[in-house]
Amino acid sequence: MNVKRDSEPVRRIQIDAMRGGEFRSHSDLVVVEEPLEIRLARTAEPGPGRAISVTMRTPGHDVELAVGFLHGEGLIRSREDVASARLCGPASNVVRVELKVGVPMDLARLERNFYTSSSCGVCGKASLEAVNEMLPIRSVASTNKVSAELLGSLVVRARSAQDVFRDTGGLHASSLFDGSGDLLATYEDVGRHNALDKLIGARLLEGALPLSECVLLLSGRASFELLQKAAAAGVPVVAAVGAPSSLAIDLAERTGILLIGFLRDASFNVYTHRERLQ
């Protein structure tokens, strides 16, 4: 697969900082935020392909982001569905993903605007049924259990791998652990959904899905869409530093995910499937 590396995720700028009652000029690192267009095509199809999404992201692992997004939307299921994925465009801000022959290009799956906004008024069990009609929600197939002690160690372990956050303080992260608490991967992005798409896309390209023996740590809150992506990837345990939404809790309950919120060292809340705790 042809993968071109991305541009830098940080930029150095000059700022004026108020310190001790006076301004001091010095350089600082900020997170880069740029648009990425995702295009979809069939194998050997001429032309640029079909533009299906534009997301504001932090450059880095753009191909993985695009593949993870398509997996979360149900357009691809495994590494075998992807013929190629590459960066293109004059600024390398377009990812073109080609599907193998025989893989359906069901773009109707992207038409889910009824829950894309947190203020759209869609809530509760009825909305889960509506979403399930467009994108079937399956239970995770796993008997994986974790200990409270392991959960309490995840934030510190993940933070050690968040290089850009350490430099800028301005990123979300999604971190994946195995059942022993060993860190498998961490991906950062200005958007929480993008960080998880990068992680899942990378594992898909490695042929490592489903993630049925893994634990996912989210650096912020646990929204419905993040839980939907986790469930699609087969993750049985999701822990978040922030709070879960009501619809995320409903989805975790339905799919068999142990959902943890407000994770702070040994302190956390259990929202669903406590039986997965040892």
Strand ranges (E), 142-224: 172-177, 183-189, 215-218
**123 classed as catalytic:** no
Instruction: For residue 50, give the nearest of 26, 75, 16 by alpha carbon.
Output: 75
Instruction: Tell me the sheet residues that pair with 15.
Output: 26
Find the catalytic residue in 88, 120, 123, 214.
120
Give the integer Cα–Cα distance in Å for 255 and 248.
11
Give the integer Cα–Cα distance in Å for 218 and 118.
18
At residue 226's C-alpha, the angle toward residues 222 and 227, to 5°, is 80
User: What's the token pair of residue 239?
Assistant: 């822990």
Helix (H) or strand (E) holding 251, with range, is: helix 246-255
Catalytic residues: 120
